[in-house]
Amino acid sequence: MDLFKESEDVVIFRVNKEDLNLEEFLFNMDVSGRLFRKLYKEKNIFVNGKFRRKGLTLNAGDLVSICMGKEQENITPDPIPINIIYEDFDLLILNKQSNIVVHPTKSHQHNTLSNGISYYFKEKGIDKKIRFVNRLDMDTTGILIVAKNPFSHQQMALQFEANEVEKRYLAIVSGVVEKDEDLIDLPIGREEDKSIRKVVTEEGQKALTKYKVIERYRNATLVDVQIFTGRSHQIRVHLHHIGHPIIGDTLYNEESPYIKRQALHSHYLNVRHPRTKEEIEFKAPLPKDMEELIGILSKE
């Protein structure tokens, strides 16, 4: 029997429990109904190497394969350097630089991170669409996750939606933070209908942020921040609300003579691998501009 070899395009599951049908089994493997229907319609779900009906009762030891095939990406490839932390069949983990937009827009079709990833995929012969799992503001640096197939994207999205991912940032804020650590549990919403600024408001969505002081300077503080929800501008809004906006954040603070962006960096991420379910962690070192800012603040 010609069984599939696990690869970038193929994910294989071994059945350990009898009496489940094919659809039930993949549902238990956290394959979404939408992805199942797409793969089934394309006849890309197999049992022991053969396409079988979704109502088939499985036996212990059966091998269920889902095949995702090649894809075409319509984002223009541009030779923009990308800093790769980790890569395998399912994931591309990047350390995003500052001052770069992640997605192309109607008025900004080139020089985005997506253009750089498209170029990298083309050079490496990776025929996949670009699927971002998390997001970072243009001037926030650090860990960015790209899923390389629909299965890994769906699996990672489930973890983020369930707040099962440990996300930690380093931020340098104005003023000396008094508490060594604290939990900020305040809802966040839009300031005005057409404003990009967000504020703490009773009408907003639940937002939970925990911070811990790493180092205090004369007029600033380095904090480690963990977020348990993924609201837009969450860290920036919460820190601004408690009176310690991020240095260089021109939307919630003021310009800084020492750094040309908000001093915010996604430095740590702990997730479960979409295929193996093993816990994996990623780290991104502090960028040069934040290191230089700390050096200046330490001498004041």
Q: What CA–CA distance (Å, rounded) separates 169 from 140? A: 10
- Residues sharing a CB contact under 8 Å with residue 195, sequence separation 6 or more, in sequence order: none
Q: What is the 3-state secondary structure (H, E, C) of 282-300?
A: EECCCCHHHHHHHHHHHHC
- Residues sharing a CB contact under 8 Å with residue 200, sequence separation 6 or more, in sequence order: 186, 187, 188, 237, 238, 241
Residue 137: active-site member: yes
Q: What CA–CA distance (Å, rounded) separates 85 from 283? A: 8
Q: In a 3-state reduction of DSSP, which class is residue 94? A: strand
- Residues sharing a CB contact under 8 Å with residue 10, sequence separation 6 or more, in sequence order: 4, 65, 66, 67, 68
CA distances (Å), 61 to each of 7, 12, 16, 125, in order?
20, 12, 6, 34
155 φ/ψ angles, rounded to the nearest 5 degrees: -65, -40
Q: What CA–CA distance (Å, rounded) separates 253 from 236? A: 9
Q: Among 9, 62, 137, 139, which one carries the catalytic annotation?
A: 137
C-alpha dihedral sign at 95, 116, 73, 127: negative
Q: What CA–CA distance (Å, rounded) separates 182 from 226? A: 11
| Residues acting as catalytic residues | 137
